[in-house]
Amino acid sequence: MQALIERNQAIPTLVHSMDEIPLENNEQVKTFCEMLFREEIDLVVFLTGVGATALLDAAKLYYPQEQFLEALRKTNITVRGPKPTVVLRKWEVPIHFTAPEPNTWHEIISIWDQQQFSVSGKRVVVQEYGKPVQEFYDELKLRGAQVLPIAVYRWALPEDLSGLRKAIHRTIHNEFDVLMFTSAQQIAHVLQIAEEERLKEEWLSAAAKTMIASVGPACTEALLQAEISVDFESSPPKMGPLVKDAILAAPAILAQKR
């Protein structure tokens, strides 16, 4: 990100705002493996590459890796985007459905509908990414699926919060022109620490004077839920276009806001 921003003639400030914490002694994973071996799972949905890798690592605590992968190869597989695709290809696990960009759960539903694939009456395992995707689960249940979420890691605040606290204060002091968000969880953590500093309203007011740039639809949705207006959303939802196109758009957007 730093190199991308610098190559586009802007000055970067990178803030460590979240960590991925693996869940150990995961009974959900053990139960999933046992159901997989008994061929009681109809479909597995992988939402992230990190989560796919974490799921394999957790499964290996209970069963041999090849036993797990062989059972997975006999199951229908859906992936949300390119990162879990890379992981599953490395494992030589066939992928039956791949969600197109912008790679949200809505595109998963869309690709199933396009290919006339029904989840009605099926047991569907969803590899979560840090928190439940309740709207996705609700849609699956509405379509008659039995949903089995698996949490293999969770989002946590970093141990060192000094950078995040400093960035909140610098935003309030109008030191930034653009605030870029690359994950929905980042917004929650920024607001949590701003609240702890008793500066939430001041931060929101100051952020409204900057250009708010989002990496994609899921991130945009989280920003809007926090009542933060989004000035720019990357399409496609990737780091390169986010940085390049947001910086190009910044002068005109900032002129309107200021």
| Segment 132-185, tens digit of pLDDT | 899 999 999 999 999 999 988 778 899 999 999 999 999 999 999 999 999 989
Return the exposure string of 243-256: e unless at least 16 CB atoms fall within 10 Å of the residue's CB, then b.
bebbbeebeebeee
Q: Which amino acid is at 81?
A: G
**At residue 79, does pLDDT exceed 70?**
yes
Say what the pLDDT of residue 26 is.
Answer: 81
Residue span(s) of the chain under CATH 3.40.50.10090 come to 2-18+157-257, 21-155
> Residue 188 and residue 198: Cα distance in Å, rounded?
15
Max Cα distance, the chain (Å): 62
Q: Which amino acid is at 215?
A: V
Residue range 2-18+157-257, CATH number: 3.40.50.10090
pTM of the model: 0.73
pLDDT level of residue 258 (50, 70, 90 thresholds)? confident
| Segment 186-223, tens digit of pLDDT | 999 999 999 999 999 999 999 999 999 999 998 999 99
> How many residues are present in the chain?
258
Please work out, in degrees rounded to the nearest 5, the angle formed at the alpha carbon of residue 127 by the alpha carbons of 121 and 129. Answer: 140
| Segment 17-51, tens digit of pLDDT | 999 887 766 888 999 999 999 999 999 999 999 88
Residue range 21-155, CATH number: 3.40.50.10090
